[in-house]
Amino acid sequence: MNKGNYAQDLQKLPSAITFKIKTPKFSPKMTKKTIAIISVPSLLLLFLYMAFNKDSIAEITPSTYNLNKETNAFNTLVWADEFNGEGPIDAEKWFLQTQLPPGGSWWGGIIQHYTNRESNTYQKDGCLNLVARKEDFEDQGVLKQYTAARLNSKFAFTYGRIEIRAKLPKGTGTWPAIWMLNKNIDEDGAYWDTKGFGTTKWPYCGEIDILEHWGKNQDYVSSALHNGSSYGEKVKNLGGQKVDRVSDTFHTYTLHWTAEKMVFSVDGVEHLSYAPAIKNADTWPYDMDYYFLLNIAIEPDIDPNFVESPMVVDYIRVYQ
C-alpha cells in the first residue's frame, strides 16, 4: 500500500483485512515434514511483507478502519450556538414559544407564562441567560404571577453527540429542562408545528430529556425517554445522578444518540443508557429529526420568597 495514497487505498479495502498467500495443495500422502518444508517459505513471505510495510499494517487496525459508530463517528461539528452575542438571542436559530395550551395553563400543573421578552431571554458575557421571574404578567387574556421562556431550536436532526455546558437555576419549585421533541409533534404554537410538520400527538411522537432538575431536590440531575411504551409520571426509562453545585458551577451534559441506543452523562459520568431489545413505534420513535427545547417551569409549590433565577448556558454543540 502506498502511504501517499492511503486515503484512497483505505476506501478500497473490504470490511476485514486478510492476506492471501498462494501455497501448494496438500494431499493425504504428504508427511508433516513435507508440509513444514512447504510452509516455511509462506511464513517467510508473510514476515517480510509485515516487516517492510509496518506503517500500513500499524495504521489499519480494527479501531481505526472499522469505525465504531457509537464512539468515533460523531466528531464533526454540524450545529452550535456559543451565545457570543449581546442582547436578544439569535432569531435565525431560536423561536420563542408562548402560545398557551387549551385551558390557559401548561401541562404538568406549572403556573408560569412563557414570554418572548428580552428580560426573560438574552445573551450576555458569552452565555444565554434564560430567567424565571416572580412578576404579574398578563398574556392571551390570562394573568399569571411568574414568567420564564421556552425556546425551540430551528435546527432538527437525527443521531449525533450533543454537548451542553450549563448552570441551572436555584429555588424550590423551579423546574429547568434542556430536552428534545420530535419535529412531528402536533402541538399548537410549537415552531415545527407552525411549519406544517405536526402530525403526531405526545407521547407517541417521542421525547428526549437530556437534563431536568427540580429545585426541591437540589443538585440531582435526571434524564428520561418518553414514548408510547413509557411516559408521564410513570415513565420507566429514566436515570439520574447527584452533581456537585449545579446552580453555582458549569457542568457538561452529554447525549450520545445512535440508531442502537442513547447514553446520557454529566461530566463524562454516565447515568442512563436506553437500548430497547424490541424497537418499534412505541419504544423507539427516535429514528427521525428532533429539535431542542430549553425552558424553566414554575411549580405550584414555588418558594414564596423566590424572586428570580437564571439558567445560564455557555454553549450547545451537535456533532455527527
Catalytic positions are: 207, 212
- Cell readout for 32 is 508433516
Q: Are 295 and 152 in contact (CB under 8 A)?
A: no
Q: Which helix or strand (DSSP H or E) is residue 280 part of?
A: none
CA dihedral over 272, 274, 277, 278, signed as positive or negative? positive
Whether the CB-CB separation of 300 and 109 falls below 8 Å is answered with yes
Q: In the sheet that 290-298 helps form, which strands lie side by side, from edge to edge?
A: 94-96, 150-157, 290-298, 174-182, 207-213, 220-226, 238-242
**Under 8 Å between Cβ of 15 and 66:** yes
Q: What are phi and psi of 287, to 5 degrees?
A: -115, 30
The Cα–Cα gap between 286 and 181 comes to 10
3-state secondary structure 210-269: EEEECHHHCCEEEEEEEECCECHHHCCCEEEEECCCCCCCCEEEEEEECCCCEEEEECCE
Q: Round to whole Å and give the CA distance between 280 and 135.
A: 45
Dist. CA 261–CA 70, nearest whole Å: 9
Q: How far apart are CA 76 and CA 273, in angstroms?
A: 23
